Amino acid sequence: MAKKSLKERLKDGETVIGTWNIIPSPTLVEIIGCSGLDFLVIDSEHGPGNFETAENLARAAEVTGMSPIMRVPDKEVHSILSALDIGMHGIQVPHVSTKEEAELIVERAKYYPVGKRGLSPFTRAGKYSLLEHDHAARSNKNTIIVLNIEGIDGIENLAEISTVPDIDVIFIGPYDLSQSIGKPGKVNDPEVMKLIKKSANILKSNGITCGSFARDEAYLKSLIQCGVKYLTYMVDTAMILKSYKAFKDFFDKFTMSKRKR
């Protein structure tokens, strides 16, 4: 049997796990993909890479069966169009607060008759014209749209936002959310967790997957208990640092014990 796509798994209500990519290295992305993660969010909001680099990151992800999603830097037409034309399986759009913004993003990410995305089948997404005859229909069916809600205003408008058709995931950003309620960085605060759980319930009732971010295993478990199914765990930079820091701590303790003998 053919492996289900990330879009199909989300539609079927499965829980999926990915991570964030800031380091613009195809080799690193391929290594991450070898771990078996379901998807990778290539971060062009906080990361230094450009669209040319991101295209190669998408190739590296696909080699291992990992779906590349791109967090675009903004909601602009060019950002959304470029991300999808270079072959991203989906886009993740930051700082969405209103239903009108959500509708605009769908319009820019989908072709007619759903939206107004600029049509060119000669890109990587259209296999350089190989899929010209059904590129628009295929893209409309398969493109994943993820909206980031990162403030209390977006949470307050969530019920409205989640009625917009063709949205697959609404991602609650715990760090920006904590800041918006006056508790910057306190992602474990009961108020933050309450808002995430409330959001997951609203989204479930409207048939949309809830997403969020965890920097450790305990928080990941809490998110799953809240009903989050599109899970991102850590960032490549932090994972590398964490691994080497753990080794260095072990090394220091080991050599210190040897010196005391």
Residue 238: the pLDDT is 97
- Angle formed by the axes of helices 77-85 and 99-109, to 10°? 40
Which residues of the chain have a pLDDT value below 50?
Answer: none
Residue 261: the pLDDT is 66
Q: Is residue 1 part of a domain?
A: no
Residue 249: the pLDDT is 96
Write 178-186 long-range contacts (CB < 8 A, 24+): 180/150, 180/151, 180/152, 180/153, 181/152
Radius of gyration of the chain (CA): 19
Residue 59: the pLDDT is 98
Q: What is the pLDDT of residues 81-101, one digit of tens each?
A: 999 999 999 999 999 999 999
> Do 38 and 16 form a contact (C-beta atoms < 8 A)?
yes
- Angle formed by the axes of helices 26-33 and 51-63, to 10°? 30
Q: Say which CATH number the domain at 39 has.
A: 3.20.20.60
DSSP 72-130: -SSS-HHHHHHHHHTT-SEEEES---SHHHHHHHHHHHS-TTT--PPP-TTSTTTGGGT
Q: Is residue 11 part of a domain?
A: yes
Residue 2: the pLDDT is 67
Residue 1: the pLDDT is 58
- Residue 6 identity (one-letter amino acid): L
Q: Is residue 12 part of a domain?
A: yes
Domain extent for 124: 6-260
DSSP 1-60: -PPPPHHHHHHTT--EEEEEE-S--HHHHHHHHTTT-SEEEEETTTS---HHHHHHHHHH
**Backbone torsions φ then ψ of 70, nearest 5 degrees:** -115, 120
- pTM of the model as a whole: 0.95
Q: Is residue 193 part of a domain?
A: yes
- Structural domains of the chain, count: 1
Q: Is residue 105 part of a domain?
A: yes
> Do 181 and 192 form a contact (C-beta atoms < 8 A)?
yes
